[in-house]
Amino acid sequence: MRNLPSELPLKIYQQAKERFEDEETGHRVAIKVTQVYGHEREVMVAYEEDAEIVYPDHSSIEGRTKGQ
């Protein structure tokens, strides 16, 4: 983790402008443009959905963090 705010993965998940699903694995990815390190960047969070529960896998600019 590169000192990203801990609330960032949830913010990306909730406010994502783009979402994709990997057809092979079923994993989903949410992408949002947000301010990071003083610049606008596309940041992604990979997650799994199981009924009403969402499991964020990680968020990344280039790094990776454990789910929240």
Question: Within a domain: residue 67?
Answer: no
Q: What is the reported pTM?
A: 0.65
Question: Within a domain: residue 33?
Answer: yes
Question: Within a domain: residue 66?
Answer: no
Question: Within a domain: residue 3?
Answer: no
How many domains, the chain? Answer: 1
- CA dihedral over 7, 57, 41, 63, signed as positive or negative: positive
Q: Is the pLDDT of residue 1 over 80?
A: no
Question: Within a domain: residue 65?
Answer: no
* Domain residue limits at 18: 8-60
pLDDT of residue 20: 92
pLDDT tens, position by position, 14-45: 999 999 998 888 888 999 999 888 889 898 88
Torsion of CA 38, 4, 48, 24, to 10 degrees: 60
Question: Within a domain: residue 2?
Answer: no
